[in-house]
Amino acid sequence: MSEKIRYGFYSGCCFQGADERFFQILQDVFAKVDVELELIVDAVCCGSGVIEERSELTSLAVNAKNMAHAEQMGLPLYTPCSTCYNVIANAQKRMQEDPAVHAQVNEILAEQGLEYKGTCKITHTLWVFAQDVGLDKLKERITNPLNGLRVASYYGCHTRNPADIQGYESADNPTSLEDILEVLGVQIVDYDTKDDCCGYHLAWPNNKLNMQMTSNVLEGAHTKDVDMLVTSCPLCFKSMDGTQAKALAQTGKNFQLPVLFLPELVGLACGMSAEDMMLRYHGVPVNIRL
Amino acid sequence: MNATITPDRKSILANIRIQRFTPGEHKSAFYDNFKVNVETGMTVLEVLRLIKNTQDSSLTFRAFCRSKICGSCSVRVNGKPLLACSTQLMPILDDFKQESVIIQPMRNMPVLRDLVVDIDPVIEKLAKMHPYIMENRGRIPETLEQESLMSRQELTKFDYITDCILCGSCYSACSAASADPNYAGPLTLGKAYRFSADVRDSFKGERMQAAVDQGLWSCAQCRKCINVCPKDTRPAISIQRLRKMSIDDGIHDTPGSRRAKAYTDDVAKYGQVNKPMLPVIVNGPKGWAAIEAADNYLIKHGIEPTHQVCTLDGQSSTQKIYAKVKELESRGENKT
């Protein structure tokens, strides 16, 4: 039995309601590749970049608190959510660049006996699989290679932009998602809209535009005759699976395209069943017989 | 001579795929392939010029200053908008591990010919945003000899945007601009913030109205504009700040400003965004339709719907953080 890789698990806000199942799914899939998640208990919501619209300092302080807890646990902070990754990494960068802000944030945290040292490492599902676990080990654990499945890969925006929030791979030509998918055995299909934004964060301020953007991305993939679209971002997943029917109806399109969250597909390739992955909860039915 | 200052020079026979199109002459855009010996240090513009001079003189592109200052040579290379004059091609070939690149005109703007686009529609949107200073009489000095001075702190609020050269890279990268032709786009809203944040200006109200009308809340904060900007002007950050400015000025009746309030208050209250009740908080009573739809979705999948937010444990200390920040901000001592 090889050694476990451990992370401080920052859950974010997206796994509420029907998506609560992903807590379990993530832990089960990670267990297959010897990864252990330890919940950061005292964490709070990162504010998804919206708190900045009221007060930037609040957002920095709240996310410094999240990182400070991970530092106390002595573990890297892992978040499955791309937006949480973006916001927390951005806060980290901002405080690195401006020591005066860092000092002020620590002054605020000091009242709770917390200190954000700035040493916290932040990571995302993509790099847990592609780099920490490694593609070789992932390959060993695959018992059900998904050969021949035509898949459109979709990163979403928040693990890629801006370029300097991550040091794991090239921002203009990221390959981690495709590397993982290739190991799973699928055939990756290139499509025009893969770099476009799904507009999830417009769901509240401008829903109509959100639907249009989601529909654009889906249509780009659909025209390439893919079996499914796979995304590493749980919010893109919500947008493209949960609201797909509405988006396509509003934009006058008539098709359906199954969308999978990356850990689900990894789980299936590692021999877990559609029942284990709770695929029945998807908005768009997923009919995999592989 | 000295390996540390002289980079390894290499040369690759690369295939440069260039999108060609002349309206009225061609039915649709097509690709031309040119073989070019790309050497270390060559810019995209040098490659384009070499092709025009030695292979096809009809290739059309726009370029002027060759110094990253006029903003006229922006094109897309492998999908990413950039300035042809200030971007070397070899690092891109290395990054993509390919011996070919695709050069296309910018997106979201009509193509005039080959790589030349018409940027006028963007400039027209900018013109509607009142991109100029209307004097703030409180800042006009008593005598003609005095200057209207600004403190360093006042300047840092917006000085990073003054570098914008209107190259349109951010507009090309923006998915919201391609989905909604009426959306103003990142550079336009960035400029609106730049002038509104200027202490010498007194036209913030009109500009805010123009910004809200042209899609202040249509930015999805995907942050691609920050990634592609050759001058590091961070339009998405300016949009966040402009939103804050509009809320501080009392524009509370937009779904976006209600969302901002809901997120900020919820995190203090529950340590978490109250997702189940968000539709009502943001959209008022008509949000109940969305909640019922969500409930029906859950019931259909055999899950008991709940309107309870799943509280996170950190919320009690968060309230103290909020209080402390508020105290600092009310005294104007925040360092952000």
**Residue A176 belongs to a domain with what CATH number?**
3.40.50.11810
Please name the residues in contact with B213: beta carbons below 8 A apart, sequence gap of 6 or more. Answer: none
Peptide bond into A162 cis (omega under 30): yes
A18: closest chain B residue by CA: B298
pLDDT digits (tens, 9 = 90+) for A251-261: 999 999 999 99
Q: Give backbone dihedrals phi and psi of A78, rounded to 5 degrees, phi first.
A: -110, 130
Q: Kindly state whether B310 is in contact with chain A, defined as any CB-CB distance less than 8 angstroms.
A: yes
Q: Give backbone dihedrals phi and psi of B143, rounded to 5 degrees, phi first.
A: -115, 165
CATH 1.10.1060.10 fits B120-248, yes or no: yes
- pLDDT score at B87: 96
Residues in chain A: 290
Residue A155 belongs to some domain of the structure: yes
Q: In terms of C-beta density within 10 A (0-12 exposed, 13-18 middle, 19 or more buried), how is residue A23 classed?
A: middle
CA distance A274 to B251: 48
Query: In this structure, are strands B100-104 and B11-20 parallel, antiparallel, or unpaired?
Result: parallel
What are the distances in angstroms from CA A148 to CA A152, A175, A185, A223, B181? 13, 20, 7, 18, 39
Q: What is the CATH number of the domain that holds A72?
A: 1.20.1050.140
CA distance B262 to B219: 18
The domain total for chain A is 2
Summarize the confidence of residues A180-202 as an average pLDDT.
Answer: 95
Contact A163 B227 (CB under 8 A): yes
| Same domain membership, residue A217 and residue A185 | yes
| Same domain membership, residue A218 and residue A99 | no
Region label for B230, one of left (φ > 0), alpha (ψ between -120 and 50) or beta (otherwise): alpha
A14: closest chain B residue by CA: B275
| Same domain membership, residue A263 and residue A178 | yes
> Beta partners for B37?
B13
Where does a domain end: A97, A123, A149? A123
pLDDT by 10s per residue, chain B, length 336: 455 666 678 999 999 999 999 999 999 999 999 999 999 999 999 999 999 999 999 999 999 999 999 999 999 999 999 999 999 999 999 999 999 999 999 999 999 999 999 999 999 999 999 999 999 999 999 999 998 899 998 999 999 999 999 999 999 999 999 999 999 999 999 999 999 999 999 999 999 999 999 999 999 999 999 999 999 999 999 999 999 999 998 888 888 999 999 899 888 888 888 888 888 888 888 888 888 888 888 888 777 877 777 766 666 778 888 888 988 888 888 887
CA distance A156 to A169: 15
Q: What is the DSSP string of A173-231?
A: S--HHHHHHHHHTPEEE--TTTTS---GGGTTT-HHHHHHHHHHHHHHHHTTT-SEEEE
ipTM value: 0.93
Tell me what the pLDDT averaged over chain A comes to.
Answer: 92
Q: In terms of C-beta density within 10 A (0-12 exposed, 13-18 middle, 19 or more buried), how is residue B11 classed?
A: exposed
Where does a domain end: A73, A96, A123? A123
| Same domain membership, residue A216 and residue A107 | no
The two three-digit tokens of residue A232, written as one number = 């590493």
Q: Which of A17, A131, A150 is nearest to A76 (CA)?
A: A131
For chain A, positions 4-63, list CB contacts with chain B under 8 A.
11, 13, 16-18, 20, 41-45, 47-58, 60-62
| Same domain membership, residue A151 and residue A88 | no
Q: How far is CA A224 from the centre of its chain?
A: 24
- pLDDT score at A3: 84
Class of domain B11-117: alpha beta
Whether the pLDDT of residue A23 is over 80: the answer is yes
Q: How far is CA B279 from the centre of its chain?
A: 27
pTM (2 d.p.): 0.93
Contact B334 A157 (CB under 8 A): no
Share of chain A above pLDDT 70, in %: 98
Give B257's contacts in chain A (Cβ within 8 Å): 53
Residue A287 belongs to some domain of the structure: no
Q: Which of B6, B67, B82 is nearest to B41 (CA)?
A: B6
Question: In angstroms, what separates the C-alpha of B45 from chain A's closest C-alpha?
Answer: 20
Q: Which domain holds residue A17?
A: 5-123
